[in-house]
Every structure is written in C-alpha cells, then in structure tokens.
Structure 1
Amino acid sequence: MIPFTTAVYYNPNTQENSAIYKPGFVEIVSKNIEYDSDSDPLKLVYASPSFMNEKQGPMQVVLVYEVNTNYIP
C-alpha cells in the first residue's frame, strides 16, 4: 500500500522468510515515498509525525493524499 513496498514476508515462529505471503507470515515493509510532486496523480499532503520517525517496529500513521485534478497520464 502507498507509500510502502513489501520487502519480505516473515514468520516469527519459524524465523523463515518468504517472497510471497503464506499463512502465519507478517509483511515487512520499507518506506517508498511516492506522489510528492504536482506532476503525480496524487500528492502526499500530510503524514503524521510517527511516519517520519526512523524507529524500527510497528507503526500507526495517518496519511492524507490530495487528488491532482490536472493530472494527465
């Protein structure tokens, strides 16, 4: 989901990694900030402070995107 990219799926019980989702695995993601300019179809206009935090572990964030009504693909 925007703005995250799946890095790997991880099973904390078996310590196994997988490139595809399997039951019992959790998604490990990395930040991939897209849609930050006026030439994109969406523009990130607000990210809660927790999103910019570099701590590892679970996070809860609020992201607000603006639809660019002038966007031409």
Structure 2
Amino acid sequence: MPCTAFCWSASRRACCALALVWEDPGEICSLAVRDDLRRRGLGRRMVAACLDECRELHLKKIWGCPSQAE
C-alpha cells in the first residue's frame, strides 16, 4: 500500500501519513503532534496537507480511524 508522509520540521513536531487503500479511498493515519505543541493548529495543517494530496490524486473517498495514544 503506497503511503505519503508529511513531517513538520526535523525536530519532529508533528507528522501525518496518507495511505492509499485499494483504488480510490485514501486513509489519513498516524497523525501525531508533540504534547507540548498541541492546540497550535499543527495537526490541522498536517491533515490539510493530506487532503491536498488526495485532491491531486483525484481521490473521492477519504477516511480515518480516530484513536488516541495512551
């Protein structure tokens, strides 16, 4: 399964991945933001980058499974 990852800077502040599933749906997965940098819009920007990639790939379906690390 091809995967496109977006990382915000070398200091690993946040990351998000887009996995291509079958022919059409894309899955936004592995979204993570460092605890001390939350509530600043980094996650929103990572998801926006994944959605931009989906548009470029002409994907019409996008999904994600929300979960929270312990």
TM range (shorter): under 0.3
Higher share in strand: 1
Higher share in helix: 2
Pick 1 or 2: higher relative contact order, CA cutoff 8 A, min separation 6.
Answer: 2
TM-score, structure 2 as length reference = 0.26
TM-score, structure 1 as length reference = 0.25
